[in-house]
Structure formats: C-alpha cells, structure tokens
Amino acid sequence: MPRANDTVAALLEELADLLAVTGGADSFKIRAYDKAARAIAAYHEDISTLDAAGIGQIPNVGKSMTAKVVEYLDTGAIRTLEELRTRIPPGALKLMEIPGLGPKKAVTLTKELDVASVDELAAAIEAGRLDGLPGFGAKTADNILHGIELLRRNEGRVLIDTATAVAEEIVTALSRVPGCESISIAGSLRRFRDSIGDVDILAAAADSAPLMAAFKALPIASEVIGSGPTKTSIRTRRGLQVDLRVVPIEAWGAALQYFTGSKAHNIRVREIAVHAKLKLSEYGLFDAETGELLVSRTEEEVYERLGLPWIPPTLREDRGEIEAALRRELPPLITEADLRGDLHTHTDLTDGVSPLEKMVAAAIDRGLEYYAVTDHAPNLVMQRMTTEKMLAQRDLVRSLDTGSLTLLHGTELNIDPIGQVDWDGDFLAGFDITVASVHSHFTLPSQEQTQRLIRACENAYVNIIGHPRARMIGRRPPIDADWDAVFEAAAATGTALEVNSFPDRMDLSDDLILRAKRRGVKFAIDTDAHSTRHMRNIRFGIGTAQRGWLTVDDVINAWPLARLRAFVGAKRP
C-alpha cells in the first residue's frame, strides 16, 4: 500500500487546485494547502502511526490541516474536499493538467464550451469553437493544442518512481502466496527507462492459479483486462497496466531474459542463437534441429551458452552492448555503493522541507563520505536567498560535527539568458563546490541556449551543470541546444554534467550521457533532494547513469574527496 502520507498529500493538493478553480480563497490559503501537502509527503514518519499532536509537529501543518489529516485517517475522506468536488465543473481539473492552462482559463473553457475532457476540448478547438471567446486568441488556441500534444505524448506513461512503488507493492504481496518460487520486476522498469508504459512482473510457480487469483484480488487492481493460466493483466486505479506472467521455475532464466527486453536487444540475442543453430524463446534455449532443451534456469546460463557474459538489464537496448559483450569489454557499471557523496541537495533555507541537521543525518545513514549543501542562489527570486543568509548557513555548515562525513558548502546558481550566474568570482571562491542550472528562459533559440550553457561551463567557479536539459517529464520539453558543442565545452573546461535523480527530471538522459561520455565529459549523480525522503531517488539516477554506460571513473562523486577537490581546484585561477 502507498504510505498514508502520499494519499493525504494528493488529497490536499487536490483541495488546493479546487480552491484555485473556485476562486473562493486568497492565494496564500491555496499555497498553505500546497505547502502542507509537500511537507506531509516528505515527512519521514508515516502519519498513520501518529496522533494529532504528532501530526501537528510537521512543518506547515497547523490546527486546520491537522484536523483534516485526522479526519482522513479516521473516516477515509475529507468532507471539505468532497463538498468542493461537487461544486466544480466536471473536467476543469483535467484541463488544468494541460501545460500552459491554469485554473482561470480551465474554468472559462468548461463553462463557455461545455467541455469536460481533454479530448472534448481538442475537438472544440479544431472545430473553431474558441473563435470570439474573450481572452482566447489564435495564439492561445495554438498553445493549448500544443499542450494537449505534450500531454498525449506521455499519455498512459508514468514516472519511474510511481511504477516502482506499484511494482514493489505487488512483488511483496505476491511473494507471500504459497507456491511462489521466485518473483521479479521485468520489462522497461527493470531496465530503468525514464518513463514507464506498463509494469511487467514475472513469477515462477508449478501451479499459476493461486498467483493469478491473488493478483486479481489485489486492492490496487481496479480492472482485470484479461486473465489466463500464463498471463494476467490488470489496470490500477490510476490507469497503469500491470502484467503478471507465471512460468515454471525451470524456465525462469529464459523467461526473465525474454520479458526484460528490450525488443531490439532480444532480436540481436536471437540472431546469435540462430547463427549457432539454436532457438531462443521465453521457454528456454533449444537445439534448433533436435528441439532439445539446453538451458533455461538462469539468465547467466542462457547468455553463457550463447557465448556472452551476463549483460546488465540497464544496457539491454542494442546500443553496442552485444558487441562489447562479445569482445568481453562490458563496462564495470557504477552502482549505488560506489557513490561517496551527493553534490546537489537543498534544505528548508530555500525550497527544501527538511532542515540542514536532518538532511545531514540522512546523508550519514546513506553511508556517504562527503555531502554538499547547495541551496538556491538569490537570482531565483522566489527562494528569497540573500548573501547574508548564505554566509550564515556557511558558518552553520562549518560548525556541525558530523563525524566521518565531510560537509561541503555549495550553492545552486542560476544560469541567466547569457550564461552569467548570481555572484562574482570573489564571492564564488568561498564555496567548496557549485552547481549551476537553467531555471528560466526555456524557449530561447538553440544557438543562444548553447552559448549560455557554454559560457556557464567557462566560469571558473561553476563545477557542475545541474539538470542540463531542464525538462520536466510530461510537463515541459527539454531546452533546445547543440549538445555536442556543450559537451565539448564541459570536457574542455573540467565542468561535470549532472545526472539528476529526480523522477520527473532524469536529466541528463541516457542517450545524451552516452554522447557526452564519448567526448570525455565527467558526471555527478545527484539526488537534488529537497527532503530526507528524496535520498532514495538516487537509485533512479544510478539506473540512468548505467543506461549511459557510466563507470566509477566517469563520476566525480564516486571519487575520493581528495580527487574531487583536485577536480574543483584545477578549474580555479
């Protein structure tokens, strides 16, 4: 089951959205709901284990919020929310999911055009029904259609953390079913793709019936799409399809290999089998002539019989891994255990929700050797950072006794449209390390975007370019730039590029990591954590880095601190 924290946070967010739509609340009240939702989602304790006093301890959760949380825990619903839902035009919230469409326009559209879904709105615009509607010109119509296209491109796909949570819940539940001999996540989720269309789960049992029955009876299953002895598909309440396949344990390896994919990788592996007069299927590796089963028990056996070492799932995309495997030159991929530090994190001094001490304690729990605090710099005005606050934080960072963990004081700078950052060199020299990121001007022409990133790389005090593509999966496309030119500048100047682990960023993406690595770029795999809860996201960054073939030598925060300091020092005058 999802944590009650996540459920309640979603309800409070919905409340905030509904308040925005009705216009029945001032902006501060709306923001109060948003802030409370974020704080509850990020809170380290499970709220269902807390009493009212405990819930009231959560930052930004006061009397009114506590009452609503308690009401939900007691009754499973929040009356205020239920009432609001009945007063809002149906579909208005759905329309707000379109990037570029806020509460005001969404309400106007539902009322004036009588549309209740994204599809109906698209049809209405195509039919010219927007013409003459005050506040909606030709350009707005275009923008809405473009937003709808963005939304549809990601339709049916979910972020990797959502898919992971669903998959792990199901694996845990089914592994307890009597007769379940083995169970694993397969498919694109096992390969750590950055968005997931459906979840594939493979189990082994002599009799599949109990597993299939348990799967269909899961609380998370809102619809059974199809069901048979080898495969059952369900849909979750949120519309995510989950497929369960059950095979005999003897076929486990062949089946896991087959259902992990990718399709392109499997085609290449099968070609190798055919050339060797073998036949590979989800049931095993067979002699093509006699039909005799050769191996099928483990993935390692299957690959080995084909003359290949076991290939990590994150590499299985037919991007050269077969050739590398044949040459026995698969890269020693970086793992979470290799990371010695995190170089991009926030605290509640800016938009984080956990205080410095809590973040540091969580870093120690992760077993890190060093940890950079990189709160936002002043030019991102909404964060209300000042030079004085930054210096005060530095004093605090320097004064904390953290045992074996070395704290680094850093900042996340803002790259302005021409590539400048918040402070001059004299002040920047006081930081141990800096990240610089694009937070605005996402639609500049490619040439300007390229120049701005190159200029940021050329800054002697910029060590890491944070989330370089600045995309938000499903909400904002990546910025347009000549990436090869950026990679050359990063490599030449000794500037690392970030692999941001946040599930909606996953930035750089695997394809660009591969390209950048070929040009000699170094990387930093960071959480960008705004809460202690976000530390776990590092696994998604690691998965992405593996998909980009990264090894310890490529990743500056997998290096000993002395080597990292030398990397920073080499760039400075």
Partner DNA sequence: GGGTTGGTACCCTGAAACGAACGCGTTTC
Point out which residues bind DNA (CB under 7 A): 26-29, 31-33, 35-36, 59-66, 99-106, 134-141, 143, 381-384, 417, 439-443, 472, 475-476
CB of 418 to DNA, least distance (A): 11
Nearer residue to DNA within complex by CB, 530 or 547 = 530
Q: Cα separation of 10 and 37, whole Å?
A: 7
CB of 28 to DNA, least distance (A): 4
Nearer residue to DNA within complex by CB, 68 or 190 = 68
Q: Cα separation of 193 and 317, whole Å?
A: 10
SS3 159: strand
DSSP 338: G
Tokens of 244: 């369960």
Find all residues with CB under 8 Å of 39, minimum gap 6, and list them.
58, 59, 60, 61, 353
Nearer residue to DNA within complex by CB, 64 or 446 = 64
Tokens of 60: 């930004």
Nearer residue to DNA within complex by CB, 131 or 155 = 131
SS3 8: helix
CB of 565 to DNA, least distance (A): 31
Q: Cα separation of 24 and 185, whole Å?
A: 46
CB of 144 to DNA, least distance (A): 10
DSSP string, 432-452: SEEEEE--S-TT--HHHHHHH
Q: Give, for 189, the enclosing helix (H) or strand (E).
A: helix 187-190
* Phi, psi (deg, nearest 5) at residue 163: -65, -40
Nearer residue to DNA within complex by CB, 103 or 503 = 103
Please report, for residues 312, 415, 439, 465, 486, the alpha-carbon distance to residue 419 in angstroms, rounded to integers and kept in the order given. Answer: 38, 5, 12, 11, 12
Which residue, among 396, 452, 390, has the nearest Cα to 421 in the 3D structure? Answer: 452
CB of 306 to DNA, least distance (A): 46
CB of 38 to DNA, least distance (A): 12
Nearer residue to DNA within complex by CB, 382 or 562 = 382
DSSP string, 192-252: T-SEESEEEEEEE-S--HHHHHHHHT-TTEEEEEEE-SSEEEEEETTS-EEEEEEE-GGGH
Nearer residue to DNA within complex by CB, 86 or 443 = 443
Tokens of 16: 């905030």
Nearer residue to DNA within complex by CB, 123 or 418 = 418
* Phi, psi (deg, nearest 5) at residue 507: -145, 120
Nearer residue to DNA within complex by CB, 416 or 484 = 416
CB of 31 to DNA, least distance (A): 5
Nearer residue to DNA within complex by CB, 147 or 341 = 147
CB of 528 to DNA, least distance (A): 12
Nearer residue to DNA within complex by CB, 67 or 330 = 67
Fill in the amino acid letter for 148: I
Nearer residue to DNA within complex by CB, 138 or 337 = 138
Fill in the amino acid letter for 92: A
Find all residues with CB under 8 Å of 437, minimum gap 6, and list them.
412, 413, 414, 415, 465, 466, 467, 470
* Phi, psi (deg, nearest 5) at residue 50: -105, 155
Which residue, among 502, 495, 549, has the nearest Cα to 526 in the 3D structure? Answer: 502
CB of 315 to DNA, least distance (A): 32
Name 233's bridge partners.
Answer: 226, 243
CB of 213 to DNA, least distance (A): 44
CB of 379 to DNA, least distance (A): 10
Nearer residue to DNA within complex by CB, 32 or 489 = 32
Residue keyed to tokens 């189990």:
203
CB of 388 to DNA, least distance (A): 16
Please report, for residues 144, 207, 429, the alpha-carbon distance to residue 245 in angstroms, rounded to integers and kept in the order given. Answer: 40, 12, 57
Give the Cβ contact number of residue 231 at 10 Å.
Answer: 13
Which residue, among 540, 464, 471, 476, has the nearest Cα to 505 in the 3D structure? Answer: 471
* Phi, psi (deg, nearest 5) at residue 332: -75, 90
Instruction: Report the greatest alpha carbon distance in the chain.
Output: 78
CB of 251 to DNA, least distance (A): 47
CB of 421 to DNA, least distance (A): 16
Angle between helices 209-216 and 160-175 (to 10 degrees): 130
Nearer residue to DNA within complex by CB, 102 or 367 = 102
Whether residue 154 contacts residue 504, with contact meaning beta carbons closer than 8 Å, is answered with no
